[in-house]
Amino acid sequence: PSIKDRLSKGLEIKGLALESAMWCRYCFGESEKGKAINIDDLHSKRLQNNAQEARNHPETFLRMEDIFGDLGKNRVFKEEFASSLNSLWANGVEKTLKSYLESE
C-alpha cells in the first residue's frame, strides 16, 4: 500500500523500489560471495525462479500479481525497480545503498 499511495500522490518511491529490488536480490538465493541463501518462505521456489529470471529481465519479478498487484504494470515503479536491481547486480549492495543514501 505504501508504494501505491506514494505513486498516487506523485511522491518519490526510489527507496521503496530499492527495498523491493533488495528483496528480489535476496530471493535469487545466492549471496554476493556465492554462498547459498536459504529462502524461508512457503513460495521460495517460485520466488527464486522469478528472481533468477529477473537478473536479466527485472520486470519478471513484478509479474507476481499476488504479491505486487498491479504495481508491476506501473511504468514509474517498473523503471525504479529495474534501475535499483540493475545497480545491485552491477555495483553490489553496499555501493548501491551508499549511492541511494548520498542522493537523499
Alpha-carbon distance 15 to 91, whole Å? Answer: 17
Q: What is the mean pLDDT of the segment spanning 38-53? A: 97
**What mean pLDDT, rounded, does the chain reach?**
97
The CATH H-level superfamily of 2-103 is N-(1-d-carboxylethyl)-l-norvaline Dehydrogenase; domain 2 (1.10.1040.10)
Alpha-carbon distance 97 to 94, whole Å? Answer: 5
Sequence ranges of the domains in the chain:
2-103
Q: What is the mean pLDDT of the segment spanning 25-44? A: 96
Q: What is the mean pLDDT of the segment spanning 46-71? A: 97
pLDDT at 58: 98
Task: Look up residue 5 and give its amino acid.
Answer: D
Rounded to two decimals, the pTM is 0.94
pLDDT at 1: 82
User: Helix, strand or coil for residue 35?
Assistant: coil
